Amino acid sequence: MHVIVAGLSHKTAPVEIREKVTYPEQVLSESLHALIGYPSINEAVIVSTCNRMEIYVVANDLDKGKDNIIQFICDCHDLKRDQISDYLYFHEGKRTMHHLFRVASSLDSMVIGEAQILGQIKTSYGAAFEADATSTIFNRLFRHALLTGKRVRTETEIGENAVSISYAAVELAKHVFDSLAGRTVMLIGAGEMIELTATHLMSNGVNKVIVTNRTFERAEALAQRFNGTAVPFDEFIDHMAYADIVISSTGAPHAVVSKGHVTQVMHKRKNKPIFFIDIAVPRDIDPEVANIYNVFAYDIDDLDSVVQTNLEERKKAAEIAEAIVDNEVGHFSAWLSTLEVAPAIASLRHHAELIRKQELEKHLRKLPNLTESEINTLNAMTCAIVNKILHKPIVKTKEYSNRKDGYQYVDSFRLLFDLEEEEEQDDSPGFLAKAELKQS
Amino acid sequence: MEKLTVVVFWLALVCSVASSLAYIGNFASRAERRVHVYTALGTALASFLLLLAVIFIRAGMLGISQTAGPFTVRVIFAAFIIGVFLLIETLYAGKNPKIKALGMFVMPISVVLQYMAWHSYKLTEPLTEQLRNYWVGIHVTFAVLGYSAMTVALAMAIIYLLQERQLKNMRKKKPGKIFRKLPSLEMSDEFCHKAIAFSFTFLTLVIATGIIRAEMLPEWSQWYMDPKILMAIATWVVYGAYLFVRSTLGWQGKRSIMFAILGFIVAVFTYLIGNSSIITEIIPSMHRYGGGLG
């Protein structure tokens, strides 16, 4: 039994290849069925996102498994082997788990710490589960991967801080206001950057938008998009008192919001806190404004410094995340090794030998008059009995374990003889994840 | 019983120290292990319960009328501070995990109070006839509740000032770890407000019960000119003014926060009159119980 992953990602393949080799949702179920149709492949999950395509399989033969995957990709997309073989990467065994856990933790993403990948893996696994393409190993592996991803997100700050200018604006606003729900934002200017920042603010709960622009029509157009109101450019200061957040990005050569304006606004607002973001160069908002009581004003350089610090923080968080991934891989491979046949048999032999020795000692104490040779005979006899009884089950298990679903026999073998796992490990992640998957 | 009190008290102190360290550690560390979060909360809860146990054991041992001594009062104070904090944490930490930063301030304060309590453990001056009255019991309990909430308000005010400095000086100084971990300005302002509103209610009751008790005494008229009582009223006025300007003039933010800090300073001074021997020598007060440490 081998766990293999084959894939191509933004790190190995150009977009020309990535856009060809995809498995959209509609064909996913069908493709999974085709994949497990191959004789060497027992379980399969296909992860297909815009930056990566990865096929995870459990195969009973390493080389055949890899070969089947390449064949499968070529068949699906009408490609020749040499067209894609250069771009594909393969991992097997422990490195597959390591890779999957890293992907789920968003450590392998283009933007480290991005939040989507965990959901995408969940969907991919869900599809494979629905299509009956997963079984004991992948059910456990993927649930463990989701759990690892979640653990990384809660225990590190990997995804917490903004790494783009427009998100940094939202993040800063959230340091002043506890929640942006129900807040009003004023947009001065109607450019692309303004629109992007406003979109982020809206998705964080801001529900009222006031737009102003030198060309009133553009203000109206933007206001309509956000379901807001447009106000003429020469009277926007009068409306500023209603806004909690002001974003400015005009092409004006000098400041359009002066200190005097804001003092007037703050008087009208009864000093309620107000938050300014100036993304224009040259600046639209007089920097002096920041000195007014309860006014928090930032320009593009401030946002950039926030982004730079956050990027450094993410790198540091990623180091901690790698340690978490290593730890979880350790847990998982400990469980996986219990599915190997050799240790199970060794464990049974050890167990039987222990019983034999104990019983022999117990009974020899009752027979103190035995000679050396008689003891040897008894010893040999008990050994023979144990070995003969164990012979059939061991041979059969070895034989069955080579079948397609072999590890299930190993599993039953352990269960029937009540063989304890070599290493203590907690079962909880699997169960937790199972419960969670049912909920969602 | 004596031994039991001491053992339980020390266990509580150990838990408080552990909790303080855990809260500070969680705040400072990059990775937030769930184990560490639960350790911080668990030890805080354990310490709270153990301190309550100390109070009950002592009440059982000495009789309820004898419990108003300096040791017990400080233990109650230490317990209530943790209690107020735990209340905030259970109510709000689910929605706003950053509120946990409060633990970093509150738990060490509780440790200091427990240490002070330990220092006054040996002072077992029998309570005077004046104190053996249930009005006094209510009066003291309300006072301790009021002071606990005040301390939490102060912690929130400090958190606000730290965060505001980060936000206002971003140009000069890159935002540090504090910036990412501390709650938003609005939240610390709001919690400071809540804590003061809570504290003000009890402060009012403290003064009211104090008056009721003083009226029962033969020398009642002298009580109204006592410096401690006057300072208590000054504290009440400052906090009242805070609530007033906040609600009517809309003084949010730093100005009202400074008011909260002023209120706390006045309150500490009020506490020290009659309780600190140095100050009592300069300003004599009739409100002087439990060996000058009540």
Q: Residues A124-150: what's their mean pLDDT?
A: 92
Are A133 and A176 found together in one domain? no
Most A CBs within 10 A among B30, B36, B164, B254, hence the mutation to make, goes to: B30
Are A22 and A70 found together in one domain? yes
The answer to whether A266 and A293 are in contact (CB under 8 A) is yes
Nearest to A272 among B163, B184, B252 (CB): B252
Phi, psi angle pair for A89, to nearest 5°: -115, 150
Q: Residues B65-78: what's their mean pLDDT?
A: 78
Q: Give the structural domain span for A394.
A: 340-420
Q: Which residues contact B266 (CB under 8 A, 6 or more apart)?
A: B231, B234, B235, B238
Are A191 and A256 found together in one domain? yes
How far does the CA of residue B33 sit from the closest CA of chain A (Å)? Answer: 5
User: For residue B64, what pLDDT band results from cuts at 50, 70 and 90?
Assistant: low
* SS3 (DSSP) at A244: coil
Name the residue with higher pLDDT: A270 or B291.
A270
Most B CBs within 10 A among A152, A154, A155, hence the mutation to make, goes to: A155
pLDDT, tens digit (0-9, with 9 covering 90-100), for A19-32: 888 898 888 999 99
- Flag whether residue B3 sits within 8 Å of chain A, measured between CB atoms: no
Lowest model confidence (mean pLDDT) among A319-323, B119-123, B186-190: B119-123
The answer to whether A247 and A187 are in contact (CB under 8 A) is yes
Q: Percentage of residues in chain B with pLDDT exceeding 90?
A: 43
Please check whether residue A333 lies inside any domain of the structure: no
Distance, in Å, from the CA atom of A406 to the CA atom of A411, rounded to the nearest integer, reads: 9
pTM: 0.75
Distance, in Å, from the CA atom of B91 to the CA atom of B93, rounded to the nearest integer, reads: 6
Q: Residues B107-136: what's their mean pLDDT?
A: 78
Nearest to A175 among B31, B167, B171 (CB): B167
Q: Percentage of residues in chain A with pLDDT exceeding 90?
A: 49
Lowest model confidence (mean pLDDT) among A149-153, A281-285, B13-17, B127-131: B127-131
E strands, A119-169, in order: none
Nearest to B184 among A154, A177, A270 (CB): A177
Decide if pLDDT at A422 tops 70.
no
* SS3 (DSSP) at B253: coil
Does residue A50 carry a catalytic annotation? Answer: yes
Decide if pLDDT at A426 tops 50.
no
What is the domain-level CATH number for residue A8? 3.30.460.30
- Flag whether residue B250 sits within 8 Å of chain A, measured between CB atoms: yes
Are A44 and A85 found together in one domain? yes
Reported as type and span, the H/E element at residue A11 is none
pLDDT, tens digit (0-9, with 9 covering 90-100), for A239-263: 999 999 999 998 888 899 999 999 9
**Closest residue of B to A316, CA-based?**
B30
pLDDT for res B126: 59
pLDDT for res A434: 41
**Closest residue of A to B167, CA-based?**
A296
What does the DSSP assignment read for A194-207?
HHHHHHHHHHTT--
Q: Which residues contact A98 (CB under 8 A, 6 or more apart)?
A: A91, A325, A326, A329
pLDDT for res B66: 61
Decide if pLDDT at A350 tops 60.
yes
pLDDT for res A432: 41
Distance, in Å, from the CA atom of A194 to the CA atom of A181, rounded to the nearest integer, reads: 19
Please check whether residue A45 lies inside any domain of the structure: yes
Reported as type and span, the H/E element at residue B86 is helix B70-92
Decide if pLDDT at A438 tops 70.
no
In chain A, which residues have their Cβ closer than 8 Å to the Cβ of B190?
178
Please check whether residue A268 lies inside any domain of the structure: yes
Is the Cβ pair B31, A155 closer than 8 Å? yes
Distance, in Å, from the CA atom of B99 to the CA atom of B89, rounded to the nearest integer, reads: 7
Q: Residues A277-286: what's their mean pLDDT?
A: 90
User: For residue A436, what pLDDT band results from cuts at 50, 70 and 90?
Assistant: very low
- Flag whether residue A64 sits within 8 Å of chain B, measured between CB atoms: no
- Flag whether residue B36 sits within 8 Å of chain A, measured between CB atoms: no
pLDDT for res B125: 56
Please check whether residue A253 lies inside any domain of the structure: yes
pLDDT for res B19: 95
Among A396-410, B46-60, B133-147, the range of highest mean pLDDT: B46-60
Helix, strand, coil percent content, chain B, rounded in steps of 5: 80, 0, 20
Are A19 and A149 found together in one domain? yes
- Flag whether residue A293 sits within 8 Å of chain B, measured between CB atoms: yes
Q: Which amino acid is at A349?
A: R
Tell me the CA distances in angstroms from B268 to A295, B73, B234, B279, one per residue in order: 32, 16, 12, 12
User: For residue B124, what pLDDT band results from cuts at 50, 70 and 90?
Assistant: low
**Among the listed residues B20, B9, B163, the one whose alpha carbon sits nearest the alpha carbon of residue B85:** B20
Q: Residues A39-46: what's their mean pLDDT?
A: 91
pLDDT, tens digit (0-9, with 9 covering 90-100), for B233-242: 999 999 999 9
Q: Which residues pair with A297 in a beta bridge?
A: A276
In chain A, which residues have their Cβ closer than 8 Å to the Cβ of B32?
154-156
Decide if pLDDT at B214 tops 50.
yes
pLDDT for res B169: 85
pLDDT for res A335: 81
In chain B, which residues have their Cβ closer than 8 Å to the Cβ of A306?
170, 175
The answer to whether A101 and A148 are in contact (CB under 8 A) is yes
Q: Residues A149-157: what's their mean pLDDT?
A: 90
pLDDT for res B128: 62
- Flag whether residue B186 sits within 8 Å of chain A, measured between CB atoms: yes
**Closest residue of B to A321, CA-based?**
B31
**Among the listed residues A318, A284, A310, A315, the one whose alpha carbon sits nearest the alpha carbon of residue A165:** A310
Distance, in Å, from the CA atom of A199 to the CA atom of A203, rounded to the nearest integer, reads: 6
Q: Which amino acid is at B73?
A: V
Are A69 and A211 found together in one domain? no
- Flag whether residue B208 sits within 8 Å of chain A, measured between CB atoms: no
Q: Which amino acid is at A217?
A: E
Please check whether residue A176 lies inside any domain of the structure: yes
In chain B, which residues have their Cβ closer than 8 Å to the Cβ of A324?
31
**Among the listed residues A35, A101, A42, A106, the one whose alpha carbon sits nearest the alpha carbon of residue A73:** A35
Q: Residues A159-168: what's their mean pLDDT?
A: 84
Distance, in Å, from the CA atom of B85 to the CA atom of B65, rounded to the nearest integer, reads: 28
Are A45 and A134 found together in one domain? yes
Are A173 and A229 found together in one domain? yes
The crossing angle, in degrees rounded to 10, of helices A300-337 and A94-104 is 150
**Which part of chain B has CATH 1.20.120?**
1-124
Of A50, A74, A76, A383, the catalytic one is: A50
Among A307-316, B232-241, B270-279, the range of highest mean pLDDT: B232-241
Architecture of the CATH domain B1-124: Up-down Bundle (1.20)
Decide if pLDDT at A111 tops 90.
no
Q: Residues B158-179: what's their mean pLDDT?
A: 85
Are A9 and A32 found together in one domain? yes
Q: Residues A331-341: what's their mean pLDDT?
A: 81
How far does the CA of residue A291 sit from the closest CA of chain B (Å)? Answer: 8
pLDDT for res A439: 45
Is the Cβ pair A270, B33 closer than 8 Å? no
What is the domain-level CATH number for residue A284? 3.40.50.720
> How many domains is chain A built from?
3
How far does the CA of residue B47 sit from the closest CA of chain A (Å)? Answer: 26
**Closest residue of A to B178, CA-based?**
A175
pLDDT, tens digit (0-9, with 9 covering 90-100), for B12-24: 999 999 999 999 9
Q: Residues A87-94: what's their mean pLDDT?
A: 91
Please check whether residue A316 lies inside any domain of the structure: no
Distance, in Å, from the CA atom of A127 to the CA atom of A130, rounded to the nearest integer, reads: 5
How much is the ipTM here? 0.83
Decide if pLDDT at B73 tops 90.
no
Please check whether residue A251 lies inside any domain of the structure: yes
Is the Cβ pair A309, B184 closer than 8 Å? no
Is the Cβ pair A174, B183 closer than 8 Å? no
Average pLDDT, chain A: 87
pLDDT for res B132: 64
B52: left (phi over 0), alpha (psi -120 to 50) or beta: alpha
- Flag whether residue B254 sits within 8 Å of chain A, measured between CB atoms: yes
How far does the CA of residue B116 sit from the closest CA of chain A (Å)? Answer: 37
Decide if pLDDT at B106 tops 90.
yes
How do A52-59 and A2-9 pair as beta strands? antiparallel
- Burial class (CB within 10 angstroms; exposed 0-12, middle 13-18, buried 19+) of A271: buried
Is the Cβ pair A273, B185 closer than 8 Å? yes
In chain B, which residues have their Cβ closer than 8 Å to the Cβ of A270?
249-250
- Flag whether residue B173 sits within 8 Å of chain A, measured between CB atoms: no
Nearest to A271 among B34, B175, B250 (CB): B250
